[in-house]
Structure 1
């Protein structure tokens, strides 16, 4: 009887030992898994924090550029008005989801358009290249009408004006600029060529 009880105790002890070992291994694995998950979370949080930090620095640089542009426009507004306008007002929170740079560009265009005197704006190359054609197109109907009315010489004098007027209007309204001497010369040159071609065709 004692032998049987001893064997049973040994069996129970072995079973308990095996269960303990299994529990220890499970606890160790759980610890390893938790540490790995925590490490992954920390790495992810650090990456997110780095991204946010980069975005914050970029936003600060952008705000700095916008502030500098706004300060410049404020000074130009004072020049347009011809009087002191005080310090630049602080920013106001807006309920309109609009891009500040877009609003500043619109203000810049208005100031260029209504500033007292010509504004030195560099006209686009494609516009400058098209000036002779614009002058020629404007000159042809003038010369044609002058030939029909018998005032061919006077029409040659008037031929450049339609092209110049159209070029000036386009430069002012579309690009907020003005025609310089070179642009005027190109337009007149094109008008003279167009007038000459019109005279040849009507003679």
Structure 2
């Protein structure tokens, strides 16, 4: 079948129209893709700016928290030195923070909560500490008796070693009933956060006197 020039011309025009439409479609798709890519980049830039602003705010908050914690720790340290009296002078300046490399990998407790707990303990110490629980009284009695018995035994041993030993033994024997006061005070402070009241002190001295008499008297 012979193709006429007119038919051939119409076919070429149709192909040209089809190619033109494909070209326009490709240009439209490329423009849309470019717009989408630009919008994505703009969105990422905005998100990055927001992240930087948030990180800066968190860093500033952390710096303020560190400064407040340092000030509170310094004030508590000064109060502790005042409460301890003459012994507080040996505490020196506020100790520095522990390096992160020396800290355990466990989560660190809230510094504000730790400072509040320290402030409560210092306040209790300023007002005399907690009351001694009744169950500790037998322990204090036994502690006073044990310390006095040990000192009395040492005194008896020293008295058998010449004049100087006799003198040292008598001095140790005189102080034997009081020897349980120091460990009892440390026990009450470290274990119960309390101070010895006059009744507890009298109980410890009584136990020391009885133990001293039991060791020295035949």
Which 5+ residue runs of structure 1 have no aligned equivalent?
119-203
1:142-199 per-residue CA deviation (whole Å, 9 max, x = no partner) reads xxxxxxxxxxxxxxxxxxxxxxxxxxxxxxxxxxxxxxxxxxxxxxxxxxxxxxxxxx
Query: Paired residue for 1:38, among 37, 41, 47?
Result: 41
Partner of 2:68: 65
Question: Which residue number corresponds to residue 78 of structure 1?
Answer: 81
Secondary structure (helix, strand or coil) at the match of 2:114 reads helix
Following superposition, the deviation at residue 42 of structure 1 comes to 1.7
Please name the residue that 2:119 is paired with.
108
Matches within 5 A, 1:119-130: none
Which of 8, 12, 15 lines up with 1:9 in the alignment?
12
List runs of 5+ in structure 2 lacking aligned partners: 129-218
- 5 Å-filtered alignment, 1:120-159, equals none
Which residue number in structure 1 is paired with residue 51 of structure 2?
Answer: 48
Cross-structure match for 1:90: 96
- Pick the structure with greater CA Rg: 2
Question: Over the residues paired in the alignment, what is the CA RMSD in angstroms?
Answer: 2.5
Of residues 24, 28, 31, the one that matches 1:25 is 28
Encode CA deviations 1:108-164: one digit per residue, 9 max, x unaligned: 12222224x78xxxxxxxxxxxxxxxxxxxxxxxxxxxxxxxxxxxxxxxxxxxxxx
Deviation at 1:21, TM superposition (A): 0.5
State TM-score, norm by structure 2.
0.48
CA distance in 1, matches of 2:57, 2:88: 42
Give the structure-1-normalised TM-score: 0.51
Give the drift of 1:10.
1.8
SS in 2 for 1:82: helix
